[in-house]
A and B are shown apart, each in its own frame.
Chain A
């Protein structure tokens, strides 16, 4: 394979973090009025994007 995927496994992390629902189906702690369930999911949007960026960086060198 020409294309290296050294960090490819990082792409699986968002799946684990958001599909195992009991991890975050909770009211507390509340942040800026948002129950945990909501700010946790919102936080994972940029985190998943960041992980994808890391994988892309890893592919290019």
Chain B
């Protein structure tokens, strides 16, 4: 427990928090429309152009937890922690090829979620339910980890021995976030993202210039890290024997999974056109440069001999490298970095619950007003759930569940990503494959002690999400082939091939 209180840091943080709170409420008037319509509250009316989408998705995908956890992993394991780089390098060509098709078909039919797409494409409310449940399940622990990111910087700023100080600050911040998200919907994080992203860039640029100067340059930093890993006898600044396979498969699996998460889908569908998404696939990598540099903070922390471990590494490095006011600025950047993704995640989960669980199973005849009310209330419930999780349960639950969430979310890949290109698979096969992938992936990870990789004989340690996806695909193909051979009737498909193409190109 930190006994000292960094008043300057708190003051800087409080100033920026107040600023974004005002923005959060003002956002309701931005691109003004009727927020009692779910596509307005939950997707910003699909009116965000290239630049807004860039800030929104950047603020959404590169979260507070990323800023804390990636350097912590690099600090502890070395090069292995850099799998985040190939991951984010290949994610965008994938987005370019896939997501505009999703945007087009969802725009055409007024769909707001991946569950809506599964319902329309396969005429199966069970498949839609599976997609929605997976999304919500994978998102909950992710929101919890954003809270962890905030908590870590609150601890670094200190409470002067006030018991439960971090929890109180966390609850206060989250209640404020919940209220303006309820009021403004997706417009709130979209507007706040401008502030948050700018602050993160300033923090990163300062860090990569100032800290290496103090530590004798990048050569010295890598040298110090190398020596530290040699002394520890594990990890290294290059990949060790047997690490290439987990490194590559984690990168590939994570890249496939990223844009299946509800928060990524919500940010994407809120774009104003397929081309806005394509342009973002070209310019979003700017954030990947920042991510790579943030990862290097792990080595800088080693070279700087910070008296900390794990998630406390980055705050400690900031604290000892910068004057207090700027450290406060950096802490504020990280804490605000938690608000944007947490808001979008809760909105994405709320859209799924409303459209693919509440509507088909509770109230089929919802008015638009009722629909938006269900979503607003759900966003509160989801955030409150995450808060309870973080305050009352051990931290490793959230981390473990988030890891499992990545494995789970990959299991909707066949229904969604392949479904955007082909209608060959049948709903029954996709459901069976999904169930197998979920169970198989969870079991493999559990056997390994909730780890992301499983050692396959003759191949090496492979990301479990991909192993489960392979089993999932095999079963989906088998069931589809059998159903085809027996001449079973095919369900309706609400879409036609032109729905997936850009309207402007067609006309």
Contacts and interface: CB of A to CB of B under 8 A. Distances in A.
Interface of A: 1-3, 8, 11-12, 14-15, 18-22, 25-27, 30, 32-35, 37-38, 41-42, 44-46, 48-49, 51-53, 55-56
A16 to B, nearest CB: 10
9 contacts: A11-B94, A19-B251, A30-B219, A33-B221, A44-B85, A44-B86, A46-B285, A48-B285, A56-B282
Contact of B238 (A32, A35, A44): A35
Contacts of B502: 3
A11 B278 contact: no
Interface string B494-507: 00001001100110
A35 B236 CA distance: 12
A26 B248 CA distance: 15
B171 interface: no
Interface in B74-108: 79, 82, 85-86, 88-90, 92-94, 96-97
B283 interface: yes
A59 B505 CA distance: 10
A49 B79 CA distance: 23
| Secondary structure dominating the interface of A | helix
B17 interface: no
A45 B93 contact: no
B89 A32 contact: no
Contacts of B283: 49
Contacts of A32: 218-219
Contacts of B462: none
B183 interface: no
A42 B295 CA distance: 12
A35 B505 contact: no
A2 B244 CA distance: 40
Contacts of B506: 2
B228 to A, nearest CB: 15
Contacts of B85: 18, 41-42, 44-45
B451 interface: no
B278 A33 contact: no
A37 B282 contact: no
Contacts of B403: none
B152 interface: no
B89 A33 contact: no
B252 to A, nearest CB: 6
A17 to B, nearest CB: 8
Contacts, number: 108
A52 B93 contact: yes
A45 B288 contact: yes
Interface residues of B, number: 41
B247 interface: yes
A42 B252 CA distance: 17
B192 interface: no
Interface string B273-291: 0000011011101001100
B237 A35 contact: yes
A18 B251 contact: yes
A48 B244 contact: no
B239 A25 contact: yes
Which of A1, A14, A44, A53: most chain B Cβ within 10 A? A14
B93 A11 contact: yes
A41 B502 CA distance: 33
Given A21-B244, A33-B220, A45 B238 contact: no
A15 B82 CA distance: 16
Contact of B248 (A21, A49, A51): A21
Given A3-B501, A46-B285, A35 B89 contact: no
B501 to A, nearest CB: 6
Nearest to B218: A33
B92 A22 contact: no
B273 to A, nearest CB: 13
A21 B239 contact: yes
B90 A14 contact: yes
A21 B244 CA distance: 6
Interface in B211-227: 217-222
B360 interface: no
Contact of A27 (B220, B238, B278, B505): B238
